[in-house]
Amino acid sequence: MKVSQDLVSDVAEVLLTEEQIAAKVAELGQRITADYAGHELTLVSVLKGSLPFMADLMRRISLPVRIDLMEVSSYGGNATESSGLVRILKDLSAPIEGRDVLLVEDIIDTGLTLNYLLRYLKGKNPRSIKVCSLLDKPARRLVEFPLDYVGFEIPDAFVVGYGLDFGEVYRNLRFVGVLRPEAYES
Ligand code: PRP
């Protein structure tokens, strides 16, 4: 894998600009604030991809918010395909029983990770559980479930930036872009 120093040279096309993302995150924050008015909310984010989205979204929600972080890894797959087998690397640090939980993801692709996580978290008896994902790639969905809040529907392209990686790189790009095939084929 050959990564250019400026990262940007490895991007074929900017799919979502920094400004488009910021406007959408603000809009999602407003909707969530209105929908959960009068409640406390627990945001559960799934590392590492959702880190920038979580950090920006939580500051756009005007409610008492608690945060918790999980990290999972899919195994048996490869860098561009998930396998559906999920291993918990970092679990919740506080109980969610009786709490309103919003699961914050960067992207829903096959849906296998989220499907596993939703079942796992529902088993902890939250008062409610909903999902907020910045990106939705419906073309690759293998498991269907309702997505309560979605930022953008995107085509079936290999995207990086704003948390999304290829080989753990490109997460710090401020926009979401399509990676040049040369960057992942070499
Ligand atoms: C990404 C993303 C979701 C999952 C979605 O995580 O953050 O958790 O893949 O894919 P799926 O719908 O096909 O299951 P990834 O495993 O790449 O880890 P990362 O967040 O650390 O990059």
Q: What pLDDT does 74 receive?
A: 76
The rounded Å distance from CA 38 to ligand 1 centre is 32
Does residue 74 have its Cβ closer than 6 Å to ligand 1?
Answer: yes
Q: Which pair of tokens denotes residue 147? A: 């997505």
Rg (C-alpha) for the chain, rounded Å, is 16
Domain assignment of residue 53, yes or no: yes
Assess whether 109 carries a catalytic annotation: yes
Residue 142 lies in a domain: yes
pLDDT confidence bin for 105, thresholds 50/70/90? very high
In-domain check, residue 135: yes
- 75: Cβ–Cβ under 8 A, 6 or more apart, which residues? 83, 85, 87
pTM: 0.94
Asked if residues 3 and 169 have their Cβ atoms less than 8 Å apart, the reply is yes
86 lines ligand 1 (CB under 6 A): no
Query: Domains in the chain: how many in total?
Result: 1
Cβ 115 under 6 angstroms from ligand 1: no
- CATH number for the domain spanning 67: value is 3.40.50.2020
**Residue 160 belongs to some domain of the structure:** no
CA of 73 to the centre of ligand 1 (A): 8
Give the domain range for residue 36.
19-154
Residue 115 domain flag? yes
CA angle 18, 186, 7 (to 5 degrees): 25
CA-CA distance, 162 to 176, in Å (whole number)?
Answer: 6
Could you list the beta-strand ranges (E) of 17-164.
41-47, 65-75, 85-90, 100-108, 128-136, 149-153, 159-160
58-103 pLDDT, tens digit per residue, is 999 999 999 999 999 876 655 556 666 789 999 999 999 999 999 9
